[in-house]
Amino acid sequence: MYDELKAILAKRRTLHPEDDIQIENCWKEEVSLLTNDIDKSIDFIRNHISDDELYWLSEVFDDVVHIISNSEFVETIIRRAANIHDEQKKLSVLSEAEYAKKIIENDTQL
């Protein structure tokens, strides 16, 4: 799973911002892998992902929590994001994580 996800993230980084079809395909693959085994996904975020990879992965946090609604997943992202050195990327990842956290909170209120 780790190598496959890293390969998808590497591909995503190289895509033109207007290549909607290929970007959407990457997102679908990322979401599928992340939601398939939440424990491995959390381990991946904690121990096997670079700051840059986490930044690109943040594009799908909301899609992931719509499927798994797992607060540990989001809290792991928030803790990991605190260690990102690039302030702009850190703020972007934290913003996406906070949005995902709100999705979970709204789901639990229903």
- pLDDT tens readout for residues 42-93: 999 999 999 999 999 999 999 999 999 999 999 999 999 999 999 999 999 9
Indicate the average pLDDT of the chain: 94
109: pLDDT confidence band, cut at 50, 70 and 90? low
- CA distances in angstroms from 40 to 1, 22, 95, listed in the order given: 8, 25, 23
**What is the reported pLDDT for 106?**
85
**What is the reported pLDDT for 25?**
97
Which amino acid, one-letter code, is at 101? Answer: K
**104, pLDDT greater than 70:** yes
For the chain, how many structural domains are there in total?
Answer: 1
**15, pLDDT greater than 90:** yes
> Do residues 62 and 35 touch, judged by C-beta distance below 8 A?
no
Write the burial class of residue 96 (CB in 10 Å: 0-12 exposed, 13-18 middle, 19+ buried): buried
**What is the reported pLDDT for 105?**
87
Q: Under the phi-then-psi rule, with left for phi > 0, alpha for psi from -120 to 50, and beta for the rest, what region is 70? A: beta
Domain that holds residue 104: 2-109
At a CB cut-off of 8 Å and minimum separation 6, what does 76 contact? 42, 45, 46
**22, pLDDT greater than 90:** yes
